[in-house]
Chains A and B, each alone.
Chain A
């Protein structure tokens, strides 16, 4: 057993209000530079929808992620993008690259015209200009152009996940009063089997040993952009100004000083949880060589119980610091992913082992309204999950590689918690009904209480259990800082630069 630690995340989609505050926080800190205007390391998508960049989930177009070969007896993983020879032949012209139109042309407005226009009969206007060449443009799209199903007869109907759904299911999804959509905030998943790193011809992408954050070395990156097409989530971006690729860094400078990443910290709906997971690195390869529907279960099996003395001993042997083990024991992510089995990885079928998990959205919950306008929660909720507005098929295609059972199990737990708390606080549901709901979901009252607490009432320290980082301390223990300072003078170290 080779124990590694990973700073992992849970996004509770039931709480997401789609306000984009996370995206703005990230943009203000990291991507307000020339060449990075179009990058959204964090973006929020309306689903069903095409997302950003357009139809990123359609891997027949973008060739992202991994695939298994056709031999069931001797399965082997290979990049969907290309083999080694193709890496060489496509070096100067990668055919699966999203174009600027698939992202969008970043723009600003000519605000100066508001003040400098000559006197006239009309109000002066600030015309939109491109932030790439500075010329006036007609705005055609943006990173959240289909927000709240806007333009859905172009965008939402082209959601790649709808392709396999029946006409009836599709019609139900978009019919008035049955309409269903939810928000999906996305950042880099900091995968265990990152396709971006595997595709990089320069070897510039690496996974940090201490916390598993996937980073691009800006000194080594040669701008081949294989990561851009190989990442199935399209979360690496090419900076046209510096000629290097960039991606979400999980705000590691903030993590190292004990703060949550900016998007987590600023989240209005408090949907985001961050904590350490311990996993067995020896199982990575085998966990990916299984049929689609088993992928989530194998990923859960890989995640180890930090309370198990055997795991703790193995972790210590593998060099995981005590502070990180303690953080793993208090991790809210471990509870959602492994203990309660409510959170699911986004598109596990891409086989990158994403370490960002989503609790599926339950709202809007009801499909029937009583004549007097009130809604009967307990019967409608339970009798009809299959008929409810939440299309389980769609959710399972998004979060469980098509395995409906996992999504239903997660929903049953969420519903049971609601019924349990309603019986306790409102009282229009009897205790027997609540107990029946808990039994159906296969959980105890204590677990329901714990889920309720972590979902609705968690404080900052409960949502973000950041492991202690001791980078400076580690250096001092091994090396005299004065000596290090004297010896690091020769080389190509560069100070961080803003604005370029």
Chain B
């Protein structure tokens, strides 16, 4: 007997693939990439430190869904595990860089551009208000202690791995190990 459902199934697969392709193109057309504008002086004046902190820590989403700054940077005290360690610690950055340079990095429009941040925020640019809030937050943090917790994070992951190994070792403690080797060892022991 031939399985006709096989042919039907393949036709359904084909249909699903075609529909999905259209859907993908549809999504692509809907989201147009906006170009970032550097924050105006007026916006900078309205920068809110508390909002900047929330944006930095990721408590509040960036409007275009870009990743929060704390993924790579630390500013002052960032909770138990500290901030990210990929980018530089930004606690005292506003004493080394001017406001324009910082806004230039945040909006990808200045003379100094971060080669790592540029591609990430190219498609998810920060709004003017967000740039201003972050700038205010960074400026307010000057003088706070710079905390780096890499060693703590490393230690926790090592301990976690050991803990998981012990846990799974216990769960699968009755697992079948070599039957033959045990048999041969026992016979050897009895002969000696």
A95 and B177 alpha carbons, distance in the complex (Å) = 9
A residues near B16, Cβ cutoff 8 Å: none
Q: Is the CB of B175 within 8 A of A95?
A: yes
A317 lies within 8 A of chain B by Cβ:
no
Chain A residue nearest to B188 (CB atoms) is A154
B174 lies within 8 A of chain A by Cβ:
yes
B154 lies within 8 A of chain A by Cβ:
no
Q: Is the CB of B168 within 8 A of A93?
A: yes
Q: Which of B2, B178, B180 contacts A475 (CB 8 A)?
A: B2
Q: Is the CB of A153 within 8 A of B187?
A: yes
Q: Is the CB of B183 within 8 A of A54?
A: yes
Chain A residue nearest to B6 (CB atoms) is A491
Q: Is the CB of B175 within 8 A of A101?
A: no
Q: Is the CB of A490 within 8 A of B10?
A: yes
Q: Is the CB of B176 within 8 A of A101?
A: no
B179 lies within 8 A of chain A by Cβ:
yes
Q: Which of B1, B174, B183 contacts A474 (CB 8 A)?
A: B1
Q: Is the CB of B2 within 8 A of A101?
A: no
Q: Is the CB of B176 within 8 A of A93?
A: no
B181 lies within 8 A of chain A by Cβ:
yes
Identify 5 new A-B residue pairs, CB closer than 8 A, beyond the known A96-B176, A474-B2: A53-B179, A97-B176, A102-B178, A479-B2, A490-B14
B interface, size bucket:
10 to 19
Contact with A along B1-14 (1 / 0, CB 8 A): 11000010010001
A62 lies within 8 A of chain B by Cβ:
yes
User: How would you classify the secondary structure of chain B's contact residues: helix, strand, loop or mixed?
Assistant: helix
Q: Which of B102-127 contact A (CB under 8 A)?
A: none
B151 lies within 8 A of chain A by Cβ:
no
Q: Which of B169-192 contact A (CB under 8 A)?
A: 172, 174-181, 183-184, 187
Q: Is the CB of B180 within 8 A of A102?
A: yes
Please, could you name 20 A-B residue pairs with CB atoms under 8 Å apart, sorted by A? A54-B180, A55-B180, A61-B176, A61-B179, A95-B172, A95-B176, A96-B175, A96-B176, A98-B176, A98-B179, A99-B179, A101-B180, A102-B179, A102-B180, A141-B180, A154-B187, A158-B183, A478-B1, A478-B2, A479-B2
A residues near B175, Cβ cutoff 8 Å: 93, 95-96
CB distance from B8 to the nearest CB of A (A): 11
B residues near A158, Cβ cutoff 8 Å: 183
A344 lies within 8 A of chain B by Cβ:
no
- Which 4 A-B pairs rank lowest in CB-CB distance, beginning with the nearest? A54-B180, A95-B175, A101-B178, A154-B187
B residues near A153, Cβ cutoff 8 Å: 187
A residues near B177, Cβ cutoff 8 Å: 99
Q: Which of A184-202 contact B (CB under 8 A)?
A: none
A484 and B183 alpha carbons, distance in the complex (Å) = 56
Chain A residue nearest to B190 (CB atoms) is A153
B residues near A488, Cβ cutoff 8 Å: 7
